[in-house]
């Protein structure tokens, strides 16, 4: 069975500071990993995905994430926070098996607040 | 290319009623997945359809059902509504529902059950 744990339900940073959102996963097979962002009253937007190519994945809006198998982690970072980054972020996992068609398992989400 | 479209955006129903939600995927996408999002349980997978067939299902009661049409549009139905069914229902599409493809979400339908 697959699962995702996001450490910290709320993260607060100052504008211009480093953003670090933590995600650890559990999967019985090599996973595919994703980060999504959700703005109020909107759906989820795909930020980036890991599909076993490069371990450092670059996404949209300056975000990137590094897959570390030994730590079962896929933390999301951005060097310099912008006010527009304030939103809720979700880490998700999908297992590369036939039983996982169309199924993403999500973490509980991390609300990012950016202070001026 | 148009994104995933969900209608309606908001619904208010009373207990015991039934409701149907609609989802139009991105053009060319044949897989449609449905999720329920609540403050308490977070995002939970309901089911996935591909080529008009349900291929995967989450742990929800039989009151939750869906279908997919030949043009890949999908509908989700909830019968005998309960207060706990109040949630944001999200639809996502992908080319073929494969694990590494990533899914693209609509804005959701917010259902309130009174």
**For the segment B64-97, what is each residue's pLDDT rounded down to a tens digit?**
999 999 999 999 999 999 999 999 999 999 988 7
Cα A105 to Cα B52: distance, rounded to the nearest angstrom: 23
Asked if A108 is an interface residue toward chain B (Cβ–Cβ < 8 A), one would say: yes
Contacts of B92 in chain A (CB under 8 A): 44, 102, 104
Number of A to B CB contacts under 8 A, please give it: 74
Interface test with B, best of A10, A31, A48, A103 (most B CBs within 10 A): A103
* pLDDT attached to residue A57: 94
Q: How confident is the model at residue A19 (pLDDT cuts 50, 70, 90)?
A: very high
Lowest mean pLDDT among A71-80, A93-102, B3-12: A93-102
Long-range contacts of B1-4 (CB under 8 A, 24+ apart): B1/B26, B1/B27, B2/B26, B2/B27, B3/B104, B3/B106, B4/A43, B4/B91, B4/B92, B4/B93, B4/B104, B4/B105, B4/B106
Interchain CB distance below 8 Å, A32 and B100? yes
Check whether A100 has a pLDDT greater than 80: no
Interchain CB distance below 8 Å, B90 and A44? yes
- Quickly tell me which residue has 């591909």 as its tokens: B50
* pLDDT attached to residue A97: 64
**Percent of chain B, pLDDT > 70?**
99
Q: How confident is the model at residue A101 (pLDDT cuts 50, 70, 90)?
A: confident
B82: closest CA of chain A, how far (Å): 23
* pLDDT attached to residue A99: 64
* Section B86-114 average pLDDT: 91
**For the segment A34-63, what is each residue's pLDDT rounded down to a tens digit?**
999 999 988 999 999 998 778 899 999 999
Contacts of A36 in chain B (CB under 8 A): 105
Cα A27 to Cα B75: distance, rounded to the nearest angstrom: 31
Check whether A96 has a pLDDT greater than 70: no
Asked if A101 is an interface residue toward chain B (Cβ–Cβ < 8 A), one would say: yes
* Section B34-39 average pLDDT: 97
Interchain CB distance below 8 Å, B99 and A105? no
Show which of residues 19-48 on chain A sit within 8 Å of chain B, judged by CB atoms. 32, 34, 36, 41-46
Asked if A111 is an interface residue toward chain B (Cβ–Cβ < 8 A), one would say: no
Check whether B2 has a pLDDT greater than 90: no
Query: Within 13 Å of residue B111, how many CA atoms lie on the same side as its CB?
Result: 30
Asked if B21 is an interface residue toward chain A (Cβ–Cβ < 8 A), one would say: no
């Amino acid at each position: 069975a697959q699962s995702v744990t996001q450490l910290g339900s709320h993260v607060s940073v100052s504008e211009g500071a480093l953003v670090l959102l933590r995600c650890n996963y559990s999967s019985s097979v090599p996973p595919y990993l994703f980060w999504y962002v959700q703005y109020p009253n909107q759906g989820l937007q795909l930020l980036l995905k890991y599909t076993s190519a490069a371990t450092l994945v670059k996404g949209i809006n300056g975000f990137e994430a590094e897959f570390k198998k030994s730590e079962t982690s896929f933390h999301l970072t951005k060097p310099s926070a912008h006010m527009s980054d304030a939103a809720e972020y979700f880490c998700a996992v999908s297992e590369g098996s036939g039983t996982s068609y169309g199924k993403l398992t999500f973490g509980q989400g991390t609300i990012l607040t950016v202070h001026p | 290319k148009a994104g995933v479209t969900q209608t309606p955006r908001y619904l208010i129903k009373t207990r015991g009623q039934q409701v149907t939600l609609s989802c139009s995927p991105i053009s060319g996408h044949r897989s449609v997945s449905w999720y329920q999002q609540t403050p308490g349980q977070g995002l939970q997978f309901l089911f996935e359809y591909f080529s008009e067939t349900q291929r995967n299902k989450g742990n929800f009661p039989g009151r939750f059902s869906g279908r997919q049409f030949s043009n890949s549009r999908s509908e989700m139905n909830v019968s005998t509504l309960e207060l706990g069914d109040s949630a944001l229902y999200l639809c996502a599409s992908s080319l073929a529902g494969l694990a590494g493809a990533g899914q693209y979400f609509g804005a959701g339908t917010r259902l309130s059950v009174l």
